[in-house]
Chains A and B, each alone.
Chain A
């Protein structure tokens, strides 16, 4: 194809997206669109399956049977969501194995919030309330993103996730209304998860490299800073309801803007964690790589068995 022809196709392509048409796997797409989507969808998928680990850490210690089944079901959902997203990514011509290799080699990124440790039961509440809360803000607009398989996966994810945040908030509510020790546990969890949750919505617009292109392709509908403001505005009243204090002395309602003003985010910490130096980056990667390696003989066995069975079928048909 000549450069001119490609340019022509690109214009038609951009016009389709502008008209809100969906792009499907076999449609022509610019290489950059494919690559950007592989990167974003796989990062999203990786975040789901690495995100299983900090919560998985408390399944065996959940304090009641009711909490245990809810947490198990939630972490299981995250595996499901990872699976839906990997499947969406595979329609772009890359295999799940290749995506795993990118994750395991450190080439691919995942949400840096999962590199923080879960140290008390209240962290299960804080993660559900804050981390899932921030995730939902990010994810809901993606249900109408331009790439069909991604949009469909997100519809399913959002539908299933609706119980996740409620699960977390309920845990917080119980703790906040419990004994002084429990309330303190809840406050401590809020203190530790608040700032990472704000960071989770991504670097400030000034530093965000992909925003403009992503907006065009409907991979993003609002900027990181807008999403962050939305998250803060909706979360502050919830903290009030819990009787917990958000750990930001500069947080206050601004009558003029109709939003909360908030203090400076420690972006050095954010970049440190993104670059692999968070408290649990190593543990998380070891857990993922370890599970994959330990599972190799199992996956091979299943494949070998399937091939034998197929061969036997052929022999019995031939005779």
Chain B
């Protein structure tokens, strides 16, 4: 938010925002939260199935951190919506697929531990850079959530990059497997920096993060670790995006039918 003239001011109180501003803010929050929601869900699927008890417990910790963040964001988004019927749970469970704004990267399946770690690694680097900027947001709530989350995500990054080194520079089998995961998931990295309309509006207001400024340092961060891990940095020029606009991969429908099962089967009940 260095380029913004409103840097030193707090953003408008909710009551003074126009419909459009509120809508943009609402969508902006969902865009951040949905990444944590879907990645947390993916990690939750693995609870009890990890390569060792210790690693299992570590993965669940990351999932719990992410869901904790999701709840803070959604509770704030519910407030921003100005609609009493909107809650953290309606936001998590009652939207249709096209309304979820997470990037394609986080919905990719738990193919094996290599894919799980690479997905985490590619997201953590972005997540950390993003939160460090979001902490400077003129929106006090977002700034506070970011401040708390940075500590969690710093650990996620430490955990995933350590594992990248172990798998990359481990055995020939692990090297091959993790290289394949890096090569496969690479095409989802560019979308992290893609900006939607809500993003741009929020950047202009000093609330949102100008992710285009994070791109170089992101690729430097992950390339350094990959190099240390004796892995090749993919040269692929073809990238996929769409998640932020709600155009997801085919995996997404299954994630949602699983996640939303109770809410859809038994509407309007409390649990």
Contact = CB atoms under 8 A, between A and B. Distances in A.
A and B touch in the complex (CB under 8 A): yes
Interface of A: 49, 52-53, 56, 59-69, 72-73, 75-76, 79-80, 82-83, 86, 121, 171, 174-175, 178-179, 181-182, 287, 290-291, 294-306, 308
Interface stretch (B163-171, B199-207, B233-241): B163-171
Contacts, number: 141
Contacts of B170: 300-305
A301 B173 contact: yes
Contact of B262 (A56, A63, A178): A63
A122 to B, nearest CB: 10
B41 interface: yes
B57 A83 contact: yes
A57 to B, nearest CB: 9
Most buried by A among B44, B54, B170: B170
Main secondary structure of the interface of B (DSSP, over half): helix
A63 B174 CA distance: 37
B67 A72 contact: yes
B70 interface: yes
A65 B112 contact: no
Given A62-B262, A305-B165, A76 B47 contact: yes
A296 B52 CA distance: 9
B269 A179 contact: yes
20 contacts: A49-B48, A59-B44, A60-B45, A65-B70, A65-B71, A72-B64, A79-B47, A79-B60, A82-B53, A121-B262, A174-B271, A182-B269, A291-B51, A297-B173, A297-B174, A298-B174, A299-B51, A301-B171, A305-B166, A305-B169
Nearest to B49: A291
Given A68-B44, A69-B67, 14 more contacts: A52-B47, A59-B44, A62-B262, A63-B266, A69-B64, A86-B53, A290-B49, A291-B49, A296-B51, A297-B177, A300-B170, A302-B170, A306-B166, A308-B169
B266 A181 contact: yes
A315 B223 CA distance: 26
Contacts of B252: none
Interface string B73-93: 010000000000000110011
Nearest to A54: B48
Contact of B258 (A53, A60, A301): A60
Given A72-B47, A72-B63, A121-B271, A65 B89 contact: yes
A210 B108 CA distance: 50
B263 interface: yes
A166 to B, nearest CB: 16
A297 B171 contact: yes
Interface in B226-271: 258-259, 261-263, 266, 269-271
Contacts of B53: 49, 79, 82-83, 86
Main secondary structure of the interface of A (DSSP, over half): helix
Nearest to A49: B53
A60 B266 contact: no
B47 A56 contact: yes
Contacts of A65: 67, 70-71, 74, 88-89, 92
A183 to B, nearest CB: 11
Given A182-B266, A301-B173, A60 B57 contact: no
A287 B47 CA distance: 12
Interface in B81-130: 88-89, 92-93, 112-114
Given A61-B259, A72-B60, A300-B170, A294 B270 contact: no
Contacts of B23: none
B118 to A, nearest CB: 13
Contacts of B112: 294
A76 B266 contact: no
A290 B46 CA distance: 12
Q: Which A-B residue pairs are the 3 nearest by beta carbons? A: A295-B51, A301-B170, A301-B174
B65 to A, nearest CB: 10
B31 to A, nearest CB: 18
A49 B56 CA distance: 11
A258 to B, nearest CB: 38
A60 B113 contact: no
Contact of B166 (A52, A59, A66, A301): A301
A60 B167 contact: no
B167 A75 contact: no
A63 B88 CA distance: 12
A72 B89 CA distance: 17
A299 B166 CA distance: 10
Contacts of A179: 266, 269
B52 A299 contact: yes
Nearest to A69: B67
Contacts of A301: 166-167, 170-171, 173-174
Nearest to A48: B53
Nearest to A57: B48
Contacts of B44: 59-60, 68, 72
Nearest to A121: B262
B267 to A, nearest CB: 11
A302 B166 contact: yes
Contacts of A300: 170-171, 173-174
